[in-house]
Amino acid sequence: MGLCQGKGRVIRMKKSYEMDMCSGPLLGKILLYSIPLMLSSILQLLFNAADVIVVGRFAGHQSLAAVGSTSSLINLLINVFIGLSVGANVLVAQHYGAGRDEQVKETVHTAVTISLVCGTFLIFVGLFLSKPLLTLMGTPEDVLNKSALYMRIYFAGMPVLMLYNFGSAVLRAVGDTRRPLFFLVIAGVVNAVLNLIFVIFFRMDVAGVALATVISECISAVLVCRCLMKTESSYRLILSQLGINRNALRRIAKIGLPAGFQGAVFSISNVLIQSSINSFGSVAMAGNTASANLEGFVYNAMNALYQTNLSFTSQNLGGGKYSRLNRVLALCLATVTVVGLVMGGGFVLAGHQLLQIYSSDPEVIRYGFLRLSMICGTYFLCGWMDVLVGSMRGMGYSIIPMLVSLTGACGLRILWLFTVFRWEHTLFVLYLSYPVSWFITAAVHFICFCYIRKKFPKRDISIPS
C-alpha cells in the first residue's frame, strides 16, 4: 500500500503503524520515526551490554575480556550479510513509496529467504573458524578458550538474528519503528533475567550469557515474523511463498553487498586495532571492552538517524518527491549532531561512574576512560559520515560511499597503525585514529553527495499508480 501521493494517483488508507514520509512537515516525522529506532537500537545493544556487565561483575576480568574481544570479529563475519538487509530496506521503501504492491511482495519474500540461507551458512562459519581467527588476532591464551566458546554459541543463533534484522528492515521501510521497539523490550528483559540466572545461579560463565542472547534473539525474531504474517498490507509474509525472485535479489545485492562489504572491511580495521589493544594485556582489553560498550549507546542512537535518512530518502525517491531529498539530509545531519554532542559529552562527564558498572578494578576503569574520552567527545563526526552515506544509498548509490569509506576510514586507520602508531606506541595515539578518519571521510562523502544529487531532478514528478 503506497503512501506517497502524486498528482492523479489513487489515494489509499494508511495503516496505523505505517508512515507517509513523502508529504507534510519533515522534522516531526523524522523524530517520530527515529526516536523508537534509537530506543530499539539501544535495547539491541543492551543484549551485549548485559553480557558484559554480568561477566565483568560476577565472573572476573578474564571473562569480560573474552566476551568483549569477540565483538569486532563477529562483526567482520556477519556484516556482509547484515548489509543485504540495507538493500532490502531501500528496495521495499522505493516500491512502497511508488505504490508498486507486487514488487513489495516479491522483495519481502526474497529478503526473508535470504536471511534464513545466510543465517544457516553462518552457523558453520562460527563453528569451524572461531578459534583459528581468534588465535590469528593474537587473543591472549588466558581468554582464548572462553572467547571461542562464546562465539560458537552466539553463531548457533545466526538464523534468528538474520531473520530479525531482515524483518525489521521491511518494517522500517514502511515507516514502522514502534512495533520492533516493543519486541526488543520483551526480548531485552528475557536476556537480562537469563544472564543473571545462567551466570550467578548455574555458574555457566560466558556460555551462559551467550545462550541468554540466543534465546532472546529467538523471541524477537518470532515476534517480527508474526507481525509480518498478520498484516493485511502489501508487505505481508506468507510462508508458502518464500523463495528468491531474481530481479529483487539483484537489486538487493546491488545496494546491500557494497554496504555489507564496507561493514566487513571496517571490521577488518577494527580487528587490527583490537589486535593492537590486545598487545597491552587483558586489563587494557577489559577497559577497552567496557568503554566500547558505553560508546555503543551513542553510536546506536546516531545510527538511527542513518536508518531514518535511508528510509525517508528511499520512499521520497520512489514517490518522485525529489524536492524533499535535501531537506531530509539537512534535518538528519542537524539531529545527529545534537544527539552525538549531548550523549557523547554526557558519557565523558559521567565516564568514571559509568565504567564502574562494568568493573570495580581501578586499572580497568583508567584504561576505559582513556578510550571513552577520546571517542565520545568527537562521535558526532561519525554520525555525519553515516547520515551522508544514508542519503546516497537511499538514492540507489552504494558503491561510491563504499569506496570513499574504505579509503578514507578503513585505509587511513590501517595506514595509521603502521606509521603513526608504530612511531608512538600508546593507546592515546591508537584511539586518535578514529576522529581523524571520521572527519576526513565525512568531508569527502559530502562532496560525493553533491555530485550524485545533481543526477536527479530538483522538482517533484508524478508517479503513475
Tens of pLDDT, residues 125-184: 999 999 999 998 888 888 899 999 999 999 999 999 999 999 999 999 999 999 988 998
- Single-letter amino acid code for the residue at 227: C
Distance CA 275, CA 257 (A): 26
- Indicate the DSSP class of residue 239: G
pLDDT beneath 70, residues of the chain: 1-16, 46-51, 463-465
* The pLDDT of residue 308: 95
Q: What per-residue confidence (pLDDT) applies to 48?
A: 64
CB atoms within 10 A of CB 323: 13
In the prediction, which pLDDT does 4 show?
A: 52
- Confidence (pTM): 0.82
Closest by Cα among 359, 68, 45, 50 to 211? 50
- Residue 161: name the closest of 88, 224, 236 by CA: 224
pLDDT at 263: 76
- Predicted local confidence at residue 10, as pLDDT: 38
SS3 content of the chain, % helix, strand, coil (to 5): 80, 0, 20
Crossing angle between the packed helical segments 246-278 and 427-453, to the nearest 10 degrees? 160
What's the gap between Cα 64 and its chain centre?
Answer: 22
Predicted local confidence at residue 1, as pLDDT: 44
424 Rama sector, left if φ>0, alpha if ψ -120 to 50, beta otherwise: beta
Written as one letter, the residue type at 198 is F
Cell 585505509, located at residue:
411
The residue ranges of every structural domain in the chain are 26-453
Burial-class residue 258 by CB neighbours within 10 Å (0-12, 13-18, 19+). buried
CB atoms within 10 A of CB 203: 11
* pLDDT reported for residue 282: 79
User: What number of CA atoms fall less than 13 Å from residue 430's CA on the CB side?
Assistant: 22
**Residues 6 or more apart whose Cβ sits within 8 Å of residue 142:** 62, 282
Q: Which residue in this structure is represented by grid cell 560458537?
A: 152
Distance CA 139, CA 281 (A): 9
Cell numbers given for 69: 574481544
**Segments in 4-140 forming alpha helices (H):** 26-58, 61-68, 71-98, 101-136
For 151, the 3-state DSSP assignment is helix
Cα separation, 265 vs 383, in Å, equals: 19
Spatial contact of 170 and 236, defined as CB atoms under 8 Å apart: no
pLDDT of residue 11: 39
- What digits encode the pLDDT tens for the residues 302-329? 999 999 999 999 999 998 999 999 999 9
Give CA angle at 281 (433, 144), nearest 5°.
Answer: 105
The CA distances from residue 420 to 291, 343, 412, 423, 425, in Å, are 23, 29, 11, 5, 8
Instruction: Give the separation between CA 227 and CA 172, rounded to whole angstroms.
Output: 13
Are 84 and 257 contacting, i.e. CB atoms less than 8 angstroms apart? yes
Q: What is the C-alpha to C-alpha distance for residues 395 and 312, in angstroms, rounded to an integer?
A: 10
In whole angstroms, give the CA distance from residue 381 to residue 384. Answer: 5
State the pLDDT at residue 16: 67
Provide the pLDDT for residue 19: 85
How far apart, in whole angstroms, are the C-alpha atoms of residue 249 and residue 240? 18
Q: What is the pLDDT of residue 184?
A: 84
For residue 50, what are the contacts with CB-CB under 8 A and spacing of at least 6? 188, 191, 192, 195, 209, 212
Alpha-carbon distance of 55 to 67, in angstroms, equals: 8
Cα separation, 126 vs 187, whole angstroms:
23
